[in-house]
């Protein structure tokens, strides 16, 4: 046995063969050749034997396994000896310790051959160990860096998911440890950048640089090509616009400023604006602050109606209630699959929570008028200063959705919006009304209209640019159009089949 001296041992190069193997070994340090497996395989070929690299547990890291004495390996791994030589049974064996500082452990490089180790073979083994150590350190540092990056990315996603379910207190606590002050704000904007899926990691890094890490940058869990940015500052929007100038085939959609509790609403606005950005020459769009129907309704009546619709959830524990409301809000805005990815739960969980809300409200979310009414209530609920106290029997009759939609301003808005469709000879208005009544099902609408389902889809798609709203993708835009049809009386108002106080048996209109 022999101990290896600390440091690198000087080797005199005396012939062209020595120059050749040294150059080949150095080539493995080039960026295109850094592979421990290739180095160990090269070593076996260079010494005309077998070579293996194993870690402190005996797991094979590279090469072909060589039978080794367990006690001898243990001494080398423990650092009692640095190297060993063994001869017997027609073979010659060299074992050398391979340090792995990043893991606070060591491995063993073993080389076996039938001929004795001459000076050339010994030098090759010694220098190969040095190269292997360098490559392992580089690889382990890279792995550690990727783990840290992945952990940081997961933490950003967790913060976003907390914001999506309105848990701003927990979101601030999680963010405070790594990004102090990031969420020390009452309001923020949400931006969504869209690019090629294979370029998303680079785009996310550019977003971090552009916002100087003063924004929450998240790789969207639902859409592979999307990067979500939650930013409290105004300057971030301009910085993100500069990215799409430098990156072809990249688009940007931004929300209006919202409270942190309305992050899910802001996200929906950003996605809606992103769709518009695809048709803009500058490839960017911010959600238009157009007239929304709820802003034309009597505020007190809207609060009364919202509290009444959501009253069955008031008996639930606060955490459960908030969870159901947030999940349902996202489930109405996006598909169950995408809502699940954003929230970090399974799609079955999303569906189960929404079914529970359906049961509590005594309604059916497959009806688009019901979905529009629930969407209105859920988004109004976010802005309520407080939920009104439980009503007594002396209270006046609860406000109905029909009452909210009969106001002069709301009806004028609805007639103006749907009137845009009247000029089209295809009677888009009739097709759209029938399609909504059929729950957004083109096949059922086609049977009613006596046309092909593809024609129905083309008519609905043709109405989108006229109304300046996305319809085939369920969400806020579609629900506004549904409310417009309800306001002008072209659709029956939704029915909520739950009992009201004092009238436990009769279904009532929402």
End-to-end alpha carbon distance in the chain: 89
Contacts of 384 (CB under 8 A, 6+ apart): 303, 306, 307
Q: Which residue blocks in 198-255 are alpha helix, DSSP H?
A: 200-210, 235-246
Residue 165 binned pLDDT confidence (cut-offs 50, 70, 90): confident
Supply the pLDDT for residue 1: 40
Across 331-384, the runs of DSSP E, i.e. the strands, are none
Phi and psi for 301 in degrees, rounded to 5? -65, -35
- 405 by DSSP, 3-state: which? coil
Any bridge partners for residue 86, and if so which? Answer: 93
Say whether pLDDT at 393 is over 70. Answer: no
d(CA 361, CA 348) in angstroms, rounded, equals 20
Q: What is the pLDDT of residues 364-380, one digit of tens each?
A: 999 999 999 999 998 88
Q: What is the DSSP letter of 80?
A: S
Say whether pLDDT at 445 is over 90. Answer: yes
- 251-254/284-286 β-pairing: parallel
Average pLDDT in the 50-61 region?
A: 87
> How is residue 491 written in tokens?
């659709």
Q: What is the pLDDT of residues 254-274, one digit of tens each?
A: 998 888 988 988 898 888 888
Any bridge partners for residue 450, and if so which? Answer: none
Supply the pLDDT for residue 73: 85
Average pLDDT in the 103-126 region?
A: 86
- Burial track 456-467 (b if 16+ CB lie within 10 A, e otherwise): bbbbbebbbebb
Residue 290 binned pLDDT confidence (cut-offs 50, 70, 90): low
Supply the pLDDT for residue 434: 95
- Nearest Cα neighbor of 399 from 299, 329, 325 is 299
Residue 437 binned pLDDT confidence (cut-offs 50, 70, 90): very high
- 83-88/91-100 β-pairing: antiparallel
Q: How many other C-beta atoms lie within 10 A of the C-beta of residue 392?
A: 7
Cβ 409 vs Cβ 442: under 8 Å: no
Say whether pLDDT at 432 is over 90. Answer: yes
- 226-231/91-100 β-pairing: unpaired
d(CA 327, CA 161) in angstroms, rounded, equals 11
Q: How many other C-beta atoms lie within 10 A of the C-beta of residue 469?
A: 20
Cβ 64 vs Cβ 109: under 8 Å: no
Q: What is the pLDDT of residues 203-230, one digit of tens each?
A: 999 998 888 878 899 999 888 899 999 9
- 291 by DSSP, 3-state: which? coil
d(CA 66, CA 2) in angstroms, rounded, equals 20
Q: How many other C-beta atoms lie within 10 A of the C-beta of residue 129?
A: 23
Residue 19 binned pLDDT confidence (cut-offs 50, 70, 90): low
Contacts of 390 (CB under 8 A, 6+ apart): 314
Q: Which residue blocks in 9-118 are alpha helix, DSSP H?
A: 16-27, 36-46, 70-78
pTM of this prediction exceeds 0.75? no
């Amino acid at each position: 046995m022999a101990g290896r001296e600390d440091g690198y041992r000087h080797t005199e190069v005396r012939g062209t063969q020595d120059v050749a193997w040294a150059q080949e070994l150095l080539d493995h340090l080039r960026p295109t050749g850094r592979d421990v497996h290739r180095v160990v395989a090269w070593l076996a070929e260079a010494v005309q034997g077998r070579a293996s690299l194993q870690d402190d547990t005996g797991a094979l890291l590279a090469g072909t396994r060589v039978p080794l004495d367990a006690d001898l390996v243990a001494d080398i791994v423990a650092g009692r000896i640095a190297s060993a030589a063994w001869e017997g049974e027609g073979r010659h064996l060299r074992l050398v310790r391979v340090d792995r500082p990043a893991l606070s452990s060591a491995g063993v490089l073993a080389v076996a051959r039938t001929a004795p180790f001459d000076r050339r073979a010994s030098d090759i083994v010694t220098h190969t160990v040095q190269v292997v150590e360098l490559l392992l350190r580089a690889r382990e540092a890279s792995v550690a860096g990727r783990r840290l990056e992945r952990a940081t990315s997961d933490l950003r996603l967790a913060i976003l998911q907390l914001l999506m379910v309105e848990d701003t207190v927990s979101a601030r606590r999680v963010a405070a440890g790594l990004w102090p002050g990031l969420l020390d704000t009452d309001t923020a904007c949400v931006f969504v950048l869209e690019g090629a899926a294979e370029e998303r990691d680079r785009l996310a890094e550019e977003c971090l640089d552009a916002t100087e890490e003063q924004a929450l940058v998240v790789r969207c869990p639902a859409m592979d090509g999307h990067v979500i940015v939650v930013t409290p500052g105004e300057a971030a929007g301009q910085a993100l616009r500069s990215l799409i100038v430098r990156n072809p085939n990249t688009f940007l959609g931004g929300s209006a400023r919202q409270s942190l509790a309305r992050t899910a609403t802001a996200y929906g606005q950003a996605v809606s604006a992103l769709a518009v950005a695809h048709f803009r020459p500058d490839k960017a769009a911010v959600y238009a602050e157009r007239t929304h129907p709820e802003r034309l309704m009597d505020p007190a009546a809207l609060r009364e109606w919202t509290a009444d619709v959501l009253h069955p959830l008031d008996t639930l524990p606060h955490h459960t209630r908030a969870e159901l409301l947030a999940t349902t809000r996202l489930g109405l805005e996006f598909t169950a699959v995408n809502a699940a990815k954003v929230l970090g739960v399974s799609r079955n969980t999303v569906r189960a929570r929404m079914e529970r809300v359906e049961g509590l409200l005594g309604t059916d979310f497959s009806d688009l008028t019901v979905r529009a009414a629930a969407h209105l209530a859920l988004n109004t609920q976010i802005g309520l200063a407080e939920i009104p106290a439980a009503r007594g029997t002396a209270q006046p009759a609860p406000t109905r959705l029909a009452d909210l939609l009969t106001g002069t301003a709301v009806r004028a808005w609805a007639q103006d919006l749907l009137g845009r469709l009247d000029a089209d000879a295809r009677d888009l208005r009739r097709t759209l009304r029938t399609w909504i009544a059929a729950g957004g099902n083109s096949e059922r609408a086609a049977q009613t209209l006596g046309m092909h389902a593809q024609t129905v889809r083309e008519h609905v798609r043709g109405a989108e640019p006229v109304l300046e709203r996305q319809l085939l993708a369920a969400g806020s835009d579609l629900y506004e159009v549904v409310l417009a049809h309800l306001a002008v009386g072209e659709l029956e108002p939704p029915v909520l089949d739950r009992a009201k106080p004092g009238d436990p048996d009769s279904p009532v209109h929402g």
